Amino acid sequence: MAENSAIEWTDHTFNPWTGCTNVSPGCDHCYAESWSKRSGHVKWGNNPRKRTTAQYWKVPAVWEANATAFYKLKGRRQRVFCASLADVFDNQAEPGWRSDLFALIAATPSLDWLLLTKRPQNVKKMLPSDWKDGYSNVWLGLTAEDQVRFDQRWKHLSAIPASVRFISYEPAIGPLRIVDAPVQPDWLISGGESGNGARIVEADWIRQIDADCAAGGVAHFFKQWGTYGNNPLVCESGIPLAEAKIADPHGKGGGLLDGAIHRRFPQPRPKVSVAA
């Protein structure tokens, strides 16, 4: 649950608690729900959330202690995805747990915490009282799997001040355009669904969102096609599956978009800060 993550856009994952309830079509094949069934750690849906252990909560302090060494090696700050098996702004989570999480975030200023939610309508009322213009080490994001969910959710998050505001268009299960949004995000992650029953992502959806990001000055991180059946090398160019896997090994189903990797991040901070 806390680890050096294989997710391409983060370094670590941290789950202050586990458990969630599905709220939209993007949740239909939720990997976290599948994990809960395999592990038996928590019952999914309208059931009590489960806080992780006190020992586990000490792990981010280890990452913080390694901040200077990491920066010297990588030339950037560490990113922490929180929470991959829950939702920080879930109103079924104990409010005291969220307070403890923000205290931990404040105590680890050298880590950039990426808080991704499907419940942006809850964010404003659940932020700490000293949020003001945002914590410098917190990036606020929302999942929008299609245009309907973007239109519903972005109006809430775009009104909240934050160091970085981002969109996860993953799994992309319908077209999404952001070019006409009055406020643009700083960053957008896109990707097709993977695993059993993965739904189709059309190549033109990704091309269109990439063009929108370029027009709006938004950093675009295209993660993956999800399956090679979605990859244009196969579905447009007719390359055999085995050859496509060799030609494009970047992520599940490959990650090339018209022959190039599109994995950009929002502008990094100019220097690392280390807690005294």
How many domains does the chain fold into? 1
249-263: pLDDT as tens digits: 999 999 999 999 999
**Cβ partners under 8 Å of residue 138, min gap 6:** 105, 112, 113, 115, 162, 163
Average pLDDT value for residue range 163-173: 96
Tell me what percent of the residues of the chain surpass a pLDDT of 90: 83
Average pLDDT value for residue range 223-240: 97
Confidence label for 167 from pLDDT (cuts 50, 70 and 90): very high
Pairing of strands 12-13, 138-143: unpaired
> Per-residue pLDDT for 269 more than 60?
no
267: in domain:
no
Average pLDDT value for residue range 174-180: 96
168: in domain:
yes
> Per-residue pLDDT for 271 more than 50?
no
Which tokens hold the place of 125? 């009322």
The answer to pTM > 0.75 is: yes
271: in domain:
no
Radius of gyration of the chain (CA): 19
Confidence label for 2 from pLDDT (cuts 50, 70 and 90): low
Confidence label for 37 from pLDDT (cuts 50, 70 and 90): confident
Average pLDDT value for residue range 32-61: 89
CATH number at residue 132: 3.20.20
> Per-residue pLDDT for 1 more than 60?
no
Give the angle 78-185-123 at the CA atoms, nearest 5°. Answer: 80
> Per-residue pLDDT for 266 more than 50?
yes
Which tokens hold the place of 27? 């949740």
274: in domain:
no
pLDDT at 273: 39
Average pLDDT, the chain: 93
pLDDT at 178: 97
Average pLDDT value for residue range 11-31: 90
83-92: pLDDT as tens digits: 899 999 999 9
> Per-residue pLDDT for 268 more than 80?
no
Average pLDDT value for residue range 168-183: 96
Domain that holds residue 183: 3-261
Average pLDDT value for residue range 97-108: 98
206: in domain:
yes
